[in-house]
């Protein structure tokens, strides 16, 4: 599953994905080190607007949607959710997963349309790749950069096509490290969560 993630430099969204726009001034452009369920996340909907906007993380209490379930039917209301890392836990010890080049990337997600306010969304999960599987059996569905526009094409997406986007990400492009147990408090959101504060804990890798 994916229960926490980071977006430590939201400005890099525009640098990495220049086709997507967001407001010049917004509290959502602040760095986030411990994004938790029910909080606001930054994403783009498949409505053709190409506008980065806040979404509410959670649909009827569900923060994740299994790819195997999502792809049983046509997939309307798709979105992407931007991140630059995510966490999984081995016992009480969090492990932080990023790209080896520390770049921003996009989770595949689904959302529910609403008349106003932040649309609720969920992150699609897939079986873990070889790196994440050392800690957890699921991981977020991460889109390749050249897949994002196709995932966001307006209109329903049929199951065979949807499945091509919902695959474990290449573990060779990723890295993992232990980080602080301060992450266990969802209210704590500061840069020092990325520092391993438990030297007695054996490292994973």
Q: Give Cβ neighbours of residue 31 (< 8 Å, ≥ 6 apart).
A: 7, 8, 9, 10, 191
| Residues 97, 88: Cα–Cα separation, whole Å | 8
pLDDT digits (tens, 9 = 90+) for 140-188: 999 999 999 999 999 999 999 999 999 999 999 999 999 999 999 999 9
C-alpha gyration radius of the chain: 16
Closest of 44, 104, 100 to residue 77, by C-alpha:
44
Give domain limits for the chain: 4-194
Strand bridging mode 120-127 / 53-57: parallel
Tell me: pLDDT of 97 over 90.
yes
Active site residue 202: no
The whole model's pTM is what?
0.94
Structural fold of domain 4-194: hypothetical protein yedk fold (3.90.1680)
pLDDT band at 197 (very low <50, low <70, confident <90, very high): confident
Annotated catalytic residue: which of 24, 50, 88, 121? Answer: 88
Active site residue 2: yes
Higher pLDDT, residue 25 or 64? 64
Q: What is the pLDDT of residue 199?
A: 56
């Amino acid at each position: 599953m994916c229960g926490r993630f980071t977006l430590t430099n939201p400005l890099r969204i525009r640098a990495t994905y220049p086709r997507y726009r967001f407001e010049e001034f917004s509290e959502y452009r602040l760095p986030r080190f411990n994004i938790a369920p029910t909080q606001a996340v930054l994403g783009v909907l498949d409505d053709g607007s190409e506008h980065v906007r806040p979404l509410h993380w959670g649909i009827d209490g569900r923060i994740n949607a299994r790819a195997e379930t999502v792809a049983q039917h046509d997939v309307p209301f798709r979105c992407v959710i931007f991140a630059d890392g995510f966490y999984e836990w081995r016992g009480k010890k969090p492990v932080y997963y990023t790209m080896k080049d520390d770049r921003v990337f996009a989770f595949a997600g689904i959302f529910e349309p609403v008349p106003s306010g932040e649309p609720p969304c969920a992150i699609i999960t897939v079986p873990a790749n070889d790196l994440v599987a050392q800690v957890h059996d699921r991981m977020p569905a991460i889109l390749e950069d050249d897949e994002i526009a196709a995932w966001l094409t307006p209109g329903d997406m049929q199951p065979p096509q949807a499945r091509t986007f919902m695959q474990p990400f290449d573990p060779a492009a990723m890295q993992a490290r232990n980080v602080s147990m301060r992450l266990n408090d969802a209210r704590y959101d500061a840069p020092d969560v990325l520092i391993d504060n438990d030297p007695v804990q054996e490292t994973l890798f």
